[in-house]
């Protein structure tokens, strides 16, 4: 893997569908638009994933549908245990899949996706200015992009948020 994209799902409806739970919440209209915009922004910057690891939640799968329209066919793994996963679980999934693709996108939930991004920033000795960007949280439909060296060490490459597009 030479690049890792950590993405939080886009904005979901506040209400759960009748008979469903949190895992079943769909994207809001705004969430669909934000996800599509982030997909276009990733593509415009040349950040096309070769593999997408996506939580089993409805909102993450719908986010991927919107994002992936820009990329065409990308191998997809929908992974049950990424739903509401902590940073340790997300990191383990990255490590399992790191040799399968050049660019891996992980699409999951807060707080795990935010914590994993911060962990990678701290491990790579990111500047205080970069760490400050992440102190306010990880907004919906946002992406933290890392380049990964041959030893598997991530280095911060970029931060995309819907509000910055």
Sequential pLDDT tens for the chain (165 residues): 899 999 999 999 988 877 788 899 999 999 999 999 999 999 999 999 999 999 999 999 999 999 999 998 999 999 999 999 999 999 999 999 988 889 999 999 999 999 999 999 999 989 999 999 898 899 999 999 999 988 888 999 999 999 998
For residue 158, give its domain range: 3-164
pLDDT of residue 30: 97
Nearby residues of 76 by Cβ (< 8 Å), 6 or more positions away: 51, 52, 54, 64, 68
Cα–Cα distance measured from residue 86 to residue 111, given in angstroms and rounded to the nearest whole number: 7
pLDDT of residue 101: 86
Cα–Cα distance measured from residue 116 to residue 91, given in angstroms and rounded to the nearest whole number: 7
Only one residue has tokens 């979901």, namely 12
Split into its structural domains, the chain has a count of 1
Is 121 within 8 Å of 130 (Cβ atoms)?
A: yes
Please give the model's pTM, rounded to 2 decimal places: 0.95
CATH number of residue 92's parent domain: 3.40.50.1240
């Amino acid at each position: 893997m030479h690049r890792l994209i950590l993405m939080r799902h886009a904005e979901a409806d506040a209400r759960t569908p009748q008979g469903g739970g949190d895992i079943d919440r769909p994207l809001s209209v705004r969430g669909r638009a934000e996800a599509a915009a982030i997909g276009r922004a990733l593509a415009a910057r040349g950040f096309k994933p070769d593999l997408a690891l996506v939580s089993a939640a409805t909102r993450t799968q719908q986010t991927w549908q919107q994002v992936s329209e820009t990329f065409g066919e990308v191998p997809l793994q929908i992974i049950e245990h990424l739903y509401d996963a902590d940073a340790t679980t997300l990191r383990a999934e990255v490590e399992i899949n790191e040799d399968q693709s050049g660019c891996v996108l992980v699409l999951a939930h807060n707080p795990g996706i935010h914590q994993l991004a911060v962990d990678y920033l701290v491990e790579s000795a990111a500047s205080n200015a970069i760490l400050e960007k992440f102190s306010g949280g990880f907004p919906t439909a946002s992406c933290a992009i890392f380049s990964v060296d041959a030893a598997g060490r991530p280095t911060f490459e970029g931060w995309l948020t819907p509000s910055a597009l």
